[in-house]
């Protein structure tokens, strides 16, 4: 096993995230036009198939924390990558709806297992003082993966099978690297950290509101992720290769999502959510109105990418803050809600496209986005941690992680650097100490 620094693990985690989320999950929409033409699939079938990786993501997310504990971070990450390799290879050899569906379903399992495995490894390999920074870098891997899919569609749109074989090869490389870099740890909670308090009725109520907003955002965004490239090809009559510029714009703009989420934590999360949802709705309307103009279509993708990644970052931060002490639950719930919304929205978009056309389908989802944005004053406030001077409380993703584990006095838990070993962690599973990269 190789020793890695904090920043080294962050970049490695971002690479695995780019493969599992960017290529295995979100790149599918980019290749929908050539896949649909070659396999002679209707928009309704594409909508159903587009929902399958989201359903498998949900199922995998339910057992992923348990697997990370039972198998250890290394084996869980290797298993995740293995599903990615199998799914991407199946897609490359798909001959119809069934084989294509099996491939994207396996890719969804890959995404569901990856982040809990990386989070488990992060608890051991990375200093707690930079958990938020490392998480932001790893989450940005999604945008990087989406952007990396662009050269494939620009140069390989007509040979999408070869593109997916190349993706499978990258996933295989990631699987081998995970075996050598990620430690075989299981328990990630220190034994002397204070146990989390029972979840109160107020917390459940706020978690429900968070989950409903996350579900709605996923529902609205499903139209863009699955059908945006198909729209500009069939309605705007653009070449298949031109759709790559949309995903490049989504990936570039998505990198700014972490910054917006951090600003939201410092200022007003409900207002930020309202603004980002309005931007999400505007991106759908703009694309439907100007599908034949690649510059305006790419601009809509910029707006969509910034709004989507900002909202997922905001939901992640809120979930962590609402459930202090529960490392495997707080970050998972909002992402499960987003995926459930996407799985619900994808078939409906396909049905609307079949019956009403692309413009009406996207306009309908844009209106839903505006309505949800108007409900943003109901967005949950954070749980009061009991600080005497809340105006001086630190903000941002790092602050959210600082309050995840607490000691018996209710203060943020920190490791004693003078201790010979970290409590609750199998020292034999750890690599040699590495220099800290701040």
| Alpha-carbon dihedral 55, 320, 260, 142, rounded to 10 degrees | -40
Do the domain assignments include residue 420? no
Burial class (CB in 10 A: 0-12, 13-18, 19+), 166: middle
Do the domain assignments include residue 427? no
pLDDT at 270 over 70: yes
Of 318, 324, 211, 210, residue with least CA distance to 264:
318
218 plus 278 within the same structural domain? yes
Q: Residue 421 — pLDDT band, cuts 50, 70, 90?
A: very low
Phi, psi of 36 (to 5 degrees): -65, -40
pLDDT at 187 over 60: no
Do the domain assignments include residue 265? yes
- Of 129, 163, 186, which closes a domain? 186
Do the domain assignments include residue 413? no
Of residues 77 and 6, more confidently modeled? 77
Q: What is the rounded distance in angstroms from the CA atom of residue 341 to the CA atom of residue 348?
A: 11
Structure tokens at 213: 């907003």
Report, as an integer, the average pLDDT of 90-119: 92
99 plus 207 within the same structural domain? no
- Of 135, 155, 186, which closes a domain? 186
148 plus 170 within the same structural domain? yes
pLDDT number for residue 213: 96
- Of 151, 186, 221, which closes a domain? 186
119 plus 260 within the same structural domain? no
Do the domain assignments include residue 412? no
352 plus 221 within the same structural domain? yes
pLDDT at 436 over 50: no
Q: Residue 400 — pLDDT band, cuts 50, 70, 90?
A: low
Structure tokens at 287: 């694309």
Of residues 233 and 123, more confidently modeled? 233
Burial 46-70 (b: 16+ CB within 10 A, else e): bbbbbbbbbbbbbebbeebbebbbe
Contact 235, 43 (CB under 8 A): no
**Mean pLDDT, all residues of the chain:** 81
CATH number at residue 107: 1.20.1250.20
166 plus 204 within the same structural domain? no
Q: What is the rounded distance in angstroms from the CA atom of residue 248 to the CA atom of residue 242?
A: 11
Do the domain assignments include residue 39? yes
Query: Which residue segment(s) compose the domain that 373 sits in?
Result: 200-383+394-406
181 plus 219 within the same structural domain? no
- Which tens digit of pLDDT belongs to each residue from 124-161? 788 777 777 787 788 888 888 888 877 777 776 678 89
88 plus 231 within the same structural domain? no
Structure tokens at 22: 């960017």
Do the domain assignments include residue 425? no
Contact 120, 67 (CB under 8 A): no
89 plus 171 within the same structural domain? yes
165 plus 278 within the same structural domain? no
Do the domain assignments include residue 273? yes
pLDDT at 301 over 50: yes
Count: domains in the chain: 2
pLDDT number for residue 191: 54
178 plus 294 within the same structural domain? no
Q: What is the rounded distance in angstroms from the CA atom of residue 387 to the CA atom of residue 399?
A: 13
pLDDT number for residue 402: 64
pLDDT number for residue 257: 73
Q: Residue 388 — pLDDT band, cuts 50, 70, 90?
A: very low
Q: What is the rounded distance in angstroms from the CA atom of residue 143 to the CA atom of residue 342?
A: 18
152 plus 273 within the same structural domain? no
Q: Return the minimum-mean-pLDDT range out of 244-248, 291-295, 340-344, 424-428.
A: 424-428
Q: What is the rounded distance in angstroms from the CA atom of residue 119 to the CA atom of residue 226?
A: 28
Contact 331, 411 (CB under 8 A): no
């Amino acid at each position: 096993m190789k020793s890695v620094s904090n920043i080294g693990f962050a970049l490695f985690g971002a690479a695995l995230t780019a493969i599992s989320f960017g290529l295995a999950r979100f790149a599918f929409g980019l290749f929908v036009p050539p896949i649909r033409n070659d396999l002679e699939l209707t928009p309704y079938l594409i909508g159903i198939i587009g929902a399958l990786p989201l359903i498998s993501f949900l199922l995998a997310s339910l057992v992923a924390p348990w697997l990370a504990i039972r198998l250890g971070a290394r084996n869980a990450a290797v298993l995740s990558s293995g599903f990615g390799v199998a799914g991407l290879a199946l897609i490359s050899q798909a001959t119809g709806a069934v084989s294509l569906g099996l491939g994207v379903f396996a890719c969804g399992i890959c995404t569901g297992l990856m982040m809990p495995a990386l989070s488990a490894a992060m608890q051991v390999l990375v200093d707690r003082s930079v958990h938020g920074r490392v998480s932001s870098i790893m989450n940005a891997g999604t945008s990087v993966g989406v952007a990396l899919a662009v050269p494939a569609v620009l140069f390989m749109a007509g040979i999408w099978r070869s593109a997916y074989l190349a993706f499978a090869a990258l996933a295989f490389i990631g699987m081998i690297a995970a075996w050598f870099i990620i430690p075989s740890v299981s328990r990630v909670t220190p034994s002397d950290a204070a146990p989390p308090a029972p979840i109160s009725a107020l917390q459940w109520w706020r978690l429900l509101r968070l989950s409903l907003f996350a579900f709605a955002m996923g529902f609205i965004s499903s139209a863009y992720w699955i059908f945006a490239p198909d729209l500009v090809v069939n309605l705007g009559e653009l070449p298949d290769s031109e759709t790559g510029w949309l995903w490049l714009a989504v990936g570039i703009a998505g990198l700014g999502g972490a910054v917006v989420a951090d600003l939201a934590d410092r200022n007003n999360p409900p207002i930020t959510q309202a603004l980002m949802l309005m931007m999400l709705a505007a991106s759908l309307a703009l694309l439907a109105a100007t599908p034949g103009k690649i510059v305006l279509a790419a601009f809509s993708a910029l707006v969509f990418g910034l709004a989507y990644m900002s909202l997922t970052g905001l939901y992640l931060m809120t979930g962590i803050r609402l459930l202090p002490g529960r490392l495997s639950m707080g970050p998972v719930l909002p992402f499960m809600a987003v995926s459930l919304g996407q799985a619900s929205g994808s078939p409906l978009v396909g049905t609307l496209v079949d019956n009403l056309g692309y413009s009406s389908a996207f306009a309908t989802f844009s209106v839903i986005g505006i309505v949800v944005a108007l409900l943003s004053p109901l967005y949950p406030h954070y749980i009061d941690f009991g600080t005497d001077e809340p105006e001086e409380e630190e903000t941002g993703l790092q602050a959210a992680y600082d309050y995840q584990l607490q000691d018996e006095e209710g203060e943020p838990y920190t490791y004693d650097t003078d201790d010979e070993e970290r409590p609750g962690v199998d020292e034999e599973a750890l690599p040699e100490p590495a220099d800290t990269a701040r």
